[in-house]
Amino acid sequence: MASQSPTTGAPGATALPDYAPVPQSAIGPALNEQGYYVGRVERNLYWVTDGSYQSAFLTTKDGVVLFDAPPTIGGNIRRAVDEIASANGVSNKVTHLVYSHHHADHAGASSLFDKNVIRIGHEETKRLLLRDNDPARPVPEETFSDRRTLKIGGERIELAWRGPNHSPDNIYIHFPDHDTLMLIDIVNPGWAPISMSNLSEDIPGYIAAPAIALDYPWKHFIGGHVGRLGTRDDLTLHQQYMADIDASVRKALVSVDPTPFFQKYYDNPWAAVSALFDAWTEAGAAPVIEKYKGVLAAADVYTSSTVFWVMESIRLDLGFASYVHP
Ligand SMILES: [Zn+2]
């Protein structure tokens, strides 16, 4: 029989596992009554969060430039822009929207902004949005391939595509005059990556991205997720976490013997492979969870999932521990 909540009788509730408490260092500012927080990053650059997602905007003398429009923040993006524009006596008219990448969870409120907004993105973002054909995410009319400098309302924004990582089209958004870098879905400051390295399509690119980010001069980091901004130390800690996963996975891959798995499931190789993947994942994850519990929030929730995906990349992209039949 499925477990039931003792208070409501609803199924499943008591079966949910407990996890280590979220460290104070992971927690951001409190949200207002409408469920958002808007704060200054530096001068006229602001960020908005609902505690899970982040968006950013620049107020300029010619209007507002918006960076990403996550649907979970949705209508609160407009409220945050209005709040800041009215407090500072500047225009609240959103004139430009820059897409970090094509994913719906960061761009799905784009259609809340009117048709006259100029949307800007990488050329691959345009191609993917044409493919996806989602009315919530109008395709960018202005695109670039490697680098593009935007000069809008006297402000400077440097866009760069440095290869695939989390997605094929994810870009670096540098604000050289605001000491800030925006790079989405790579590092969650204070938190472990979610499922399978933040659901990344290209693991070698995902692992290399923080070093590229740290090559830029900046003090403030907008990562797209969680309730706070990041620092250079957050990126270094994330790099250490991923390096520890890499080392631990390599150890697991050469120390767990596959033979008993194929002996037990001699007529069902998929059962053998599944059990072996689980064993590699568990052996790879255990020491990393131990080290980062209480350091990175949700390390005990999500490390196994990321270990699994890094393990597959180490096997399949890098060919590590590959067995060639004699
Ligand atoms: Zn994404």
Please give the average per-residue pLDDT across 10-17, as a whole number: 75
Rounded distance from Cα 108 to ligand 1 centre (Å)? 11
CA distance 76 to 240: 35
State the distance from the centre of ligand 1 to the C-alpha of 274, rounded, in angstroms: 27
Kindly report, residue by residue over 46-104, the tens digit of the pLDDT. 999 999 999 999 999 999 999 999 999 999 999 999 999 999 999 999 999 999 999 99
Among 64, 44, 41, 43, smallest CA distance to 54 is for 41
**Ligand 1 geometric centre to CA of 326 (Å):** 42
Kindly report the backbone phi and psi dihedral angles of residue 263, in degrees, each rounded to the nearest multiple of 5, phi listed first. -70, -45
Residue 267 CA to ligand 1 center (angstroms) comes to 40
Any residues with CB less than 8 A from the CB of 56 and at least 6 apart, and which?
A: 41, 45, 46, 47, 48, 66, 67, 68, 182, 222
21 CA → ligand 1 middle, Å? 26
What percent of the chain shows pLDDT beyond 90?
A: 93
pLDDT band with cut points at 50, 70 and 90 for residue 1: very low
Ligand 1 centre distance from Cα of residue 273 (Å): 29
Rounded to the nearest angstrom, the distance between the alpha carbon of 9 and the centre of ligand 1 is 37
Flag whether pLDDT at 265 surpasses 60: yes
In three-state form (DSSP H/G/I as H, E/B as E, the rest C), the secondary structure along the chain is: CCCECCCCCCECHHHCCCCCCCCHHHCCCCCCCCCCEEEEEECCEEEEECCCEEEEEEEECCEEEEECCCCCCCHHHHHHHHHHHHHHCCCCCEEEEECCCCCHHHHCCHHHCCCCCEEEEEHHHHHHHHHHCCCCCCCCCEEECCEEEEEECCEEEEEECCCCCCCCCCCEEEECCCCEEECCCCCCCCECCCHHHHHCCCHHHHHHHHHHHHHCCCCEEECCECCCCECHHHHHHHHHHHHHHHHHHHHHHHHCCCHHHHHHCCCCHHHHHHHHHHHHHHHHHHHHHHHHCCCCECHHHHHHHHHHHHHHHHHHCCCCCCCCCC
Give me the pLDDT at residue 136, please: 97
- Cα–ligand 1 centroid distance for 122 (angstroms): 14
Q: Give residue 101 CA to ligand 1 midpoint distance, Å.
A: 7
Distance 92 CA to ligand 1 centre (A): 27
Spacing, Cα 266 to ligand 1 middle (Å): 40
Measured distance CA(2)–CA(91) in Å, rounded: 56
Cα(224) to centroid(ligand 1), Å: 9
CA of 106 to the centre of ligand 1 (A): 7
What was the pLDDT predicted at 6? 54
Return the pLDDT at 10: 62
Report how far ligand 1's centroid is from the alpha carbon of 270 (Å). Answer: 30
Give the pLDDT confidence of 190-241 residue by residue, as tens digits: 999 999 999 999 999 999 999 999 999 999 999 999 999 999 999 999 999 9
- Whole-number Å distance, alpha carbon 43 to ligand 1 midpoint, is 27
> Measured in angstroms, how far is the CA atom of residue 163 from the centroid of ligand 1?
15
pTM for this prediction: 0.94
